[in-house]
Structures are given as structure tokens and as C-alpha cells.
Amino acid sequence: MTHVVAEPCFNCKYTDCVVVCPVECFYEGEAMLFIHPDECIDCEACVPECPPAAIFHEDNLPEQWADYKALNAEMSPECPSITERRDPMGPPIHK
């Protein structure tokens, strides 16, 4: 099982979640973060740390964002790992 970063992270990219991840499974894309599904240990530490509420367990991913599961799996190996907090791109767009 894994967690998925979904649409609320797009053009927001808060990084509070990455500092609590014990396995460093977050990757930084140009406009959002991704979780590598093979590295996530399903600890849920990141979920309450996400200001725009963009992280979901794959079983609870809203239907309108179902494609983000595949997007995280596809993009995480292509992006650099992120383990330190950085300034967000902008204010949370969903809460």
C-alpha cells in the first residue's frame, strides 16, 4: 500500500510532508511533489503535515484524482528526491 500526492499539490508544493517522512520517498517535480509507491511504508506521517490536504492513501484517493496514482508512480523515479523543507510555490488551493 502507498500514499499518493494528488491535484491539491499542483502549483502549491508545500514541503512540510517531506521532513516527517522516515523513508525519504518524496520526489520534487516542477509543479508538485510525488510519492514513490515502492518506497512508501504507509506510515501516514505525511498526511497531517500537508496544508492543502493533497496526500491520500491509495484506497481513499478521490475518484476525480484516480489518475494521480499512476502519475506518482511514473514521475517519482524521474524527479530528484526531496528531504528538506522549502518555500511553497503559493498558498494552498484546497483545504
Count of structural domains, the chain? 1
- 26 near 18, Cβ under 8 Å? yes
Residue 42 has phi, psi (to 5 degrees) of 65, 35
Q: Is residue 87 part of a domain?
A: no
Q: Is residue 67 part of a domain?
A: yes
Q: For the chain, what is the mean pLDDT?
A: 92
Q: Is residue 54 part of a domain?
A: yes
Burial pattern 36-46, b for ≥16 Cβ within 10 A else e, equals: bbebbeeeeeb
- 21-40, pLDDT tens digit by residue? 999 999 999 999 999 999 99
pLDDT score, position 93? 46
Q: Is residue 28 part of a domain?
A: yes
Q: Is residue 86 part of a domain?
A: no
Q: Is residue 93 part of a domain?
A: no
Domain extent at residue 57: 3-78
Per run of 10 residues, the mean pLDDT along the chain (length 95 residues) is 94 91 96 97 96 96 98 98 86 46
